[in-house]
Protein backbone atom coordinates (compact mmCIF):
# COMPACT_ATOMS: atom_id res chain seq x y z
CA UNK A 1 0.00 0.00 0.00
CA UNK A 2 1.50 3.32 -1.02
CA UNK A 3 2.06 6.02 1.58
CA UNK A 4 -0.85 8.37 1.75
CA UNK A 5 -0.12 11.92 0.69
CA UNK A 6 -1.56 13.27 3.91
CA UNK A 7 -2.00 11.44 7.15
CA UNK A 8 -3.55 13.04 10.21
CA UNK A 9 -3.63 11.25 13.55
CA UNK A 10 -5.53 12.39 16.64
CA UNK A 11 -5.25 16.07 15.87
CA UNK A 12 -6.26 18.29 18.77
CA UNK A 13 -6.58 22.08 18.42
CA UNK A 14 -7.31 24.35 21.38
CA UNK A 15 -8.04 28.00 21.98
CA UNK A 16 -6.98 29.27 25.39
CA UNK A 17 -9.53 31.64 26.94
CA UNK A 18 -9.89 33.18 30.35
CA UNK A 19 -12.29 30.40 31.30
CA UNK A 20 -9.85 27.70 30.32
CA UNK A 21 -8.92 26.12 26.99
CA UNK A 22 -11.67 25.49 24.44
CA UNK A 23 -11.14 22.40 22.33
CA UNK A 24 -12.09 23.20 18.77
CA UNK A 25 -10.85 19.98 17.21
CA UNK A 26 -10.70 16.96 19.48
CA UNK A 27 -9.05 13.99 17.90
CA UNK A 28 -9.39 14.00 14.13
CA UNK A 29 -7.73 11.21 12.12
CA UNK A 30 -7.86 10.49 8.42
CA UNK A 31 -5.72 9.61 5.42
CA UNK A 32 -5.65 11.11 1.98
CA UNK A 33 -4.31 8.84 -0.74
CA UNK A 34 -2.35 10.05 -3.75
CA UNK A 35 -4.63 11.34 -6.52
CA UNK A 36 -7.70 11.17 -4.29
CA UNK A 37 -10.22 13.89 -3.62
CA UNK A 38 -11.37 13.91 -0.02
CA UNK A 39 -14.30 16.09 0.88
CA UNK A 40 -14.52 17.48 4.41
CA UNK A 41 -18.07 18.54 5.02
CA UNK A 42 -19.70 20.05 8.06
CA UNK A 43 -21.83 22.91 9.23
CA UNK A 44 -20.50 26.11 10.76
CA UNK A 45 -18.59 25.46 13.93
CA UNK A 46 -17.80 21.85 13.05
CA UNK A 47 -14.11 22.65 12.71
CA UNK A 48 -13.56 21.79 9.06
CA UNK A 49 -11.79 25.03 8.11
CA UNK A 50 -9.75 24.84 11.28
CA UNK A 51 -8.57 21.38 10.30
CA UNK A 52 -7.32 22.74 6.99
CA UNK A 53 -5.62 25.70 8.68
CA UNK A 54 -4.00 23.47 11.27
CA UNK A 55 -2.56 21.20 8.61
CA UNK A 56 -0.80 24.02 6.81
CA UNK A 57 0.22 25.81 9.97
CA UNK A 58 -1.99 28.84 9.44
CA UNK A 59 -4.03 28.72 12.63
CA UNK A 60 -5.00 32.15 13.92
CA UNK A 61 -3.33 32.67 17.28
CA UNK A 62 -4.14 32.06 20.13
CA UNK A 63 -5.35 28.80 18.54
CA UNK A 64 -2.73 26.12 18.57
CA UNK A 65 -2.18 22.46 17.82
CA UNK A 66 -1.95 20.77 21.16
CA UNK A 67 -1.30 17.18 20.16
CA UNK A 68 -1.54 14.79 17.25
CA UNK A 69 0.54 14.03 14.20
CA UNK A 70 0.42 15.37 10.68
CA UNK A 71 2.38 13.52 8.03
CA UNK A 72 2.83 14.91 4.53
CA UNK A 73 4.26 12.48 1.99
CA UNK A 74 5.83 10.45 4.75
CA UNK A 75 7.42 13.41 6.52
CA UNK A 76 6.15 14.65 9.85
CA UNK A 77 5.20 18.33 9.62
CA UNK A 78 3.27 19.31 12.72
CA UNK A 79 6.46 20.22 14.55
CA UNK A 80 7.76 22.52 11.83
CA UNK A 81 8.06 26.21 12.50
CA UNK A 82 8.50 29.44 10.59
CA UNK A 83 10.70 29.25 7.53
CA UNK A 84 10.48 25.48 7.10
CA UNK A 85 6.72 25.62 7.19
CA UNK A 86 6.64 28.46 4.69
CA UNK A 87 8.74 26.59 2.16
CA UNK A 88 6.60 23.53 2.57
CA UNK A 89 3.42 25.48 2.21
CA UNK A 90 4.28 26.79 -1.20
CA UNK A 91 5.99 23.78 -2.64
CA UNK A 92 4.09 20.75 -1.45
CA UNK A 93 0.75 22.22 -0.51
CA UNK A 94 -1.27 24.59 -2.65
CA UNK A 95 -4.20 26.50 -1.26
CA UNK A 96 -7.45 27.71 -2.74
CA UNK A 97 -9.57 29.88 -0.48
CA UNK A 98 -13.09 31.13 -0.67
CA UNK A 99 -12.54 34.73 -1.62
CA UNK A 100 -10.42 35.26 -4.72
CA UNK A 101 -10.24 38.95 -3.95
CA UNK A 102 -8.15 38.37 -0.85
CA UNK A 103 -6.13 35.44 -2.22
CA UNK A 104 -4.63 37.56 -4.96
CA UNK A 105 -2.60 40.67 -4.31
CA UNK A 106 -4.44 43.51 -6.02
CA UNK A 107 -1.24 45.49 -6.56
CA UNK A 108 0.57 42.98 -8.75
CA UNK A 109 -0.24 41.49 -12.12
CA UNK A 110 -1.12 37.84 -12.42
CA UNK A 111 2.18 37.29 -14.22
CA UNK A 112 4.15 38.71 -11.34
CA UNK A 113 2.35 36.60 -8.77
CA UNK A 114 2.55 33.38 -10.74
CA UNK A 115 6.18 33.82 -11.74
CA UNK A 116 7.22 34.73 -8.22
CA UNK A 117 5.65 31.59 -6.86
CA UNK A 118 7.06 29.37 -9.57
CA UNK A 119 10.56 30.67 -9.18
CA UNK A 120 10.40 30.51 -5.40
CA UNK A 121 9.90 26.78 -5.50
CA UNK A 122 11.27 25.54 -8.81
CA UNK A 123 14.67 26.23 -10.27
CA UNK A 124 13.75 27.75 -13.60
CA UNK A 125 14.69 30.85 -15.52
CA UNK A 126 12.41 33.85 -15.73
CA UNK A 127 11.36 33.17 -19.30
CA UNK A 128 10.67 29.53 -18.54
CA UNK A 129 8.64 30.52 -15.56
CA UNK A 130 6.56 32.82 -17.73
CA UNK A 131 5.97 30.06 -20.25
CA UNK A 132 4.86 27.74 -17.49
CA UNK A 133 2.57 30.43 -16.11
CA UNK A 134 0.90 30.97 -19.47
CA UNK A 135 0.37 27.25 -19.88
CA UNK A 136 -1.16 27.08 -16.40
CA UNK A 137 -3.61 29.85 -17.20
CA UNK A 138 -4.48 28.11 -20.42
CA UNK A 139 -5.07 24.85 -18.59
CA UNK A 140 -7.47 26.43 -16.15
CA UNK A 141 -9.44 27.89 -18.99
CA UNK A 142 -8.47 31.55 -19.14
CA UNK A 143 -8.97 32.62 -22.76
CA UNK A 144 -6.10 34.50 -24.47
CA UNK A 145 -3.80 33.55 -21.63
CA UNK A 146 -0.66 35.08 -23.07
CA UNK A 147 -2.29 38.47 -23.17
CA UNK A 148 -4.33 38.28 -19.98
CA UNK A 149 -1.41 37.18 -17.86
CA UNK A 150 -0.35 40.79 -17.59
CA UNK A 151 -3.70 41.95 -16.23
CA UNK A 152 -4.44 42.77 -12.62
CA UNK A 153 -6.81 40.71 -10.49
CA UNK A 154 -9.58 43.29 -10.56
CA UNK A 155 -9.74 43.02 -14.32
CA UNK A 156 -11.04 39.47 -14.07
CA UNK A 157 -14.57 38.38 -13.26
CA UNK A 158 -15.28 36.30 -10.13
CA UNK A 159 -15.12 32.94 -11.83
CA UNK A 160 -12.02 33.83 -13.80
CA UNK A 161 -10.31 35.04 -10.65
CA UNK A 162 -10.94 31.77 -8.94
CA UNK A 163 -9.43 29.96 -11.91
CA UNK A 164 -6.34 32.12 -11.50
CA UNK A 165 -6.21 31.18 -7.84
CA UNK A 166 -6.30 27.52 -8.82
CA UNK A 167 -3.48 28.14 -11.27
CA UNK A 168 -1.51 29.83 -8.52
CA UNK A 169 -2.11 26.94 -6.17
CA UNK A 170 -0.84 24.48 -8.75
CA UNK A 171 2.11 26.56 -9.92
CA UNK A 172 4.73 24.96 -7.71
CA UNK A 173 3.41 21.48 -8.58
CA UNK A 174 2.25 20.53 -5.13
CA UNK A 175 1.28 17.05 -4.06
CA UNK A 176 -1.69 18.32 -2.09
CA UNK A 177 -4.20 21.08 -2.71
CA UNK A 178 -6.35 22.30 0.15
CA UNK A 179 -9.47 24.04 -1.12
CA UNK A 180 -11.54 25.79 1.54
CA UNK A 181 -15.00 26.70 0.27
CA UNK A 182 -13.68 27.39 -3.24
CA UNK A 183 -17.09 27.92 -4.82
CA UNK A 184 -19.18 29.44 -2.06
CA UNK A 185 -18.80 33.00 -3.24
CA UNK A 186 -19.65 32.16 -6.85
CA UNK A 187 -22.88 31.90 -8.80
CA UNK A 188 -24.36 28.45 -9.30
CA UNK A 189 -23.60 28.33 -13.00
CA UNK A 190 -19.98 29.19 -12.37
CA UNK A 191 -19.58 26.80 -9.43
CA UNK A 192 -19.90 23.80 -11.67
CA UNK A 193 -17.23 25.16 -14.01
CA UNK A 194 -14.77 25.79 -11.20
CA UNK A 195 -15.24 22.38 -9.66
CA UNK A 196 -14.60 20.82 -13.01
CA UNK A 197 -11.41 22.81 -13.53
CA UNK A 198 -10.17 21.96 -10.07
CA UNK A 199 -10.81 18.26 -10.56
CA UNK A 200 -9.33 18.09 -14.03
CA UNK A 201 -6.17 20.00 -13.35
CA UNK A 202 -5.38 18.28 -10.10
CA UNK A 203 -5.98 14.83 -11.51
CA UNK A 204 -3.79 15.62 -14.50
CA UNK A 205 -0.97 16.74 -12.25
CA UNK A 206 -1.40 13.93 -9.78
CA UNK A 207 -2.25 16.25 -6.92
CA UNK A 208 -4.64 15.14 -4.20
CA UNK A 209 -7.35 17.51 -3.04
CA UNK A 210 -8.72 18.15 0.41
CA UNK A 211 -12.01 19.85 -0.40
CA UNK A 212 -13.52 21.65 2.56
CA UNK A 213 -17.08 22.87 2.20
CA UNK A 214 -20.52 23.04 3.79
CA UNK A 215 -22.15 22.28 0.43
CA UNK A 216 -22.94 18.60 0.02
CA UNK A 217 -23.75 19.14 -3.62
CA UNK A 218 -20.18 20.17 -4.37
CA UNK A 219 -18.94 17.07 -2.57
CA UNK A 220 -21.29 14.87 -4.56
CA UNK A 221 -19.91 16.28 -7.79
CA UNK A 222 -16.26 16.30 -6.97
CA UNK A 223 -15.14 14.05 -4.17
CA UNK A 224 -14.20 10.38 -4.01
CA UNK A 225 -14.51 10.08 -0.27
CA UNK A 226 -16.05 12.37 2.29
CA UNK A 227 -15.48 13.01 5.98
CA UNK A 228 -18.47 14.41 7.84
CA UNK A 229 -17.43 16.57 10.78
CA UNK A 230 -19.48 17.45 13.82
CA UNK A 231 -18.38 19.51 16.83
CA UNK A 232 -14.69 19.11 16.17
CA UNK A 233 -14.68 15.39 15.40
CA UNK A 234 -15.28 13.16 12.43
CA UNK A 235 -18.71 11.54 12.67
CA UNK A 236 -18.40 9.42 9.58
CA UNK A 237 -16.01 8.95 6.69
CA UNK A 238 -16.36 6.85 3.56
CA UNK A 239 -16.96 6.80 -0.21
CA UNK A 240 -19.23 9.62 -1.31
CA UNK A 241 -21.97 7.51 -2.87
CA UNK A 242 -22.15 5.23 0.17
CA UNK A 243 -22.37 8.10 2.58
CA UNK A 244 -25.08 9.86 0.63
CA UNK A 245 -27.25 6.87 -0.02
CA UNK A 246 -26.58 4.85 3.09
CA UNK A 247 -25.47 7.10 5.92
CA UNK A 248 -24.77 5.23 9.13
CA UNK A 249 -24.28 8.01 11.66
CA UNK A 250 -27.60 9.57 12.74
CA UNK A 251 -26.18 13.04 12.14
CA UNK A 252 -25.13 12.22 8.60
CA UNK A 253 -28.51 10.67 7.93
CA UNK A 254 -30.24 13.75 9.29
CA UNK A 255 -28.01 16.01 7.24
CA UNK A 256 -28.73 14.17 4.02
CA UNK A 257 -32.41 14.23 4.78
CA UNK A 258 -32.53 17.95 5.40
CA UNK A 259 -31.19 18.82 1.98
CA UNK A 260 -34.14 19.53 -0.33
CA UNK A 261 -34.20 17.27 -3.34
CA UNK A 262 -34.14 18.55 -6.88
CA UNK A 263 -35.95 15.55 -8.20
CA UNK A 264 -38.63 14.67 -5.68
CA UNK A 265 -41.53 16.41 -4.03
CA UNK A 266 -41.36 16.29 -0.28
CA UNK A 267 -43.83 17.42 2.27
CA UNK A 268 -41.45 18.02 5.07
CA UNK A 269 -37.70 18.12 5.22
CA UNK A 270 -35.98 15.99 7.79
CA UNK A 271 -35.32 18.25 10.71
CA UNK A 272 -32.60 17.72 13.30
CA UNK A 273 -33.79 19.54 16.42
CA UNK A 274 -31.55 22.06 18.14
CA UNK A 275 -28.21 23.31 16.84
CA UNK A 276 -24.54 22.38 16.93
CA UNK A 277 -23.24 22.96 20.46
CA UNK A 278 -20.96 25.88 21.18
CA UNK A 279 -17.40 25.02 22.06
CA UNK A 280 -17.89 26.20 25.60
CA UNK A 281 -20.98 24.03 26.10
CA UNK A 282 -19.86 20.71 24.68
CA UNK A 283 -22.11 17.87 25.86
CA UNK A 284 -20.58 14.92 27.69
CA UNK A 285 -20.05 11.64 25.90
CA UNK A 286 -21.06 11.79 22.25
CA UNK A 287 -21.36 15.44 21.23
CA UNK A 288 -24.43 14.68 19.11
CA UNK A 289 -26.41 12.87 21.82
CA UNK A 290 -28.78 15.73 22.85
CA UNK A 291 -30.07 15.94 19.28
CA UNK A 292 -30.05 12.24 18.40
CA UNK A 293 -33.26 10.28 17.87
CA UNK A 294 -31.56 7.00 18.59
CA UNK A 295 -29.72 8.00 21.71
CA UNK A 296 -29.34 5.64 24.66
CA UNK A 297 -27.64 5.87 28.06
CA UNK A 298 -24.17 4.82 26.97
CA UNK A 299 -23.99 7.71 24.49
CA UNK A 300 -24.35 10.29 27.23
CA UNK A 301 -21.30 9.21 29.13
CA UNK A 302 -18.82 7.78 26.66
CA UNK A 303 -17.36 9.37 23.58
CA UNK A 304 -17.31 7.03 20.58
CA UNK A 305 -14.19 6.48 18.48
CA UNK A 306 -14.03 5.90 14.74
CA UNK A 307 -14.50 2.24 13.89
CA UNK A 308 -14.70 0.49 10.53
CA UNK A 309 -18.12 -0.66 9.44
CA UNK A 310 -18.09 -1.94 5.87
CA UNK A 311 -16.76 0.78 3.59
CA UNK A 312 -17.34 3.49 6.20
CA UNK A 313 -15.69 4.54 9.40
CA UNK A 314 -18.23 5.77 11.93
CA UNK A 315 -17.98 7.08 15.45
CA UNK A 316 -21.29 5.99 16.94
CA UNK A 317 -22.26 3.54 19.66
CA UNK A 318 -24.93 2.04 17.43
CA UNK A 319 -22.25 0.14 15.57
CA UNK A 320 -19.70 -2.47 16.41
CA UNK A 321 -16.38 -3.18 14.77
CA UNK A 322 -16.40 -5.53 11.77
CA UNK A 323 -19.81 -4.52 10.48
CA UNK A 324 -23.36 -4.94 11.67
CA UNK A 325 -25.39 -3.34 14.42
CA UNK A 326 -23.91 -3.09 17.88
CA UNK A 327 -25.35 -4.89 20.83
CA UNK A 328 -27.05 -1.79 22.17
CA UNK A 329 -28.80 -2.01 25.49
> Which residues lie near other proteins (CB under 8 A)?
18, 43-44, 157-160, 187-193, 196, 214-218, 220-221, 240-241, 244-245, 254-263, 265-266, 268-273, 275-276
Nearest-CA neighbor of 194 among 208, 205, 207, 179?
Answer: 179
Instruction: Give the Cα separation of 97 and 156 in Å (integer).
Output: 17
Cβ of residue 259: shortest distance to other proteins, in angstroms? 6
> Toward other proteins, which CB reaches closer, 169 or 240?
240
> Toward other proteins, which CB reaches closer, 69 or 242?
242
Contact assessment for residue 249 and residue 310, using Cβ atoms and an 8 Å cutoff: no
> Toward other proteins, which CB reaches closer, 17 or 105?
17
Cβ of residue 270: shortest distance to other proteins, in angstroms? 6
Instruction: Give the Cα separation of 306 and 314 in Å (integer).
Output: 5
Cβ of residue 187: shortest distance to other proteins, in angstroms? 4
> Toward other proteins, which CB reaches closer, 245 or 327?
245
Instruction: Give the Cα separation of 96 and 164 in Å (integer).
Output: 10
Contact assessment for residue 311 and residue 278, using Cβ atoms and an 8 Å cutoff: no
Question: Which of the 8 DSSP states describes residue 319?
Answer: B
Cβ of residue 12: shortest distance to other proteins, in angstroms? 22
Instruction: Give the Cα separation of 11 and 48 in Å (integer).
Output: 12
> Toward other proteins, which CB reaches closer, 266 or 293?
266
Torsion angle of the four alpha carbons 147, 148, 150, 152, in this order, in degrees rounded to the nearest 10:
160
Contact assessment for residue 37 and residue 239, using Cβ atoms and an 8 Å cutoff: no
Cβ of residue 219: shortest distance to other proteins, in angstroms? 8
Amino acid sequence: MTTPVLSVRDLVVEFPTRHGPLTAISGVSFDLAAGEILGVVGESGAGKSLTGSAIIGLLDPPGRVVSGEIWLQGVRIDQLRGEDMRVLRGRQVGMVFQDPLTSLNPLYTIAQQLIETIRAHLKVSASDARKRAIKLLDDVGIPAASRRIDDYPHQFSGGMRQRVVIALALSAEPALVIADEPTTALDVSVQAQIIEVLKEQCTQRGASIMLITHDMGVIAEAADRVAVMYAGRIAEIGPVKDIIQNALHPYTAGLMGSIPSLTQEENRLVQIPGAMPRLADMPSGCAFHPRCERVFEHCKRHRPELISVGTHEVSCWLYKEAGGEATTP
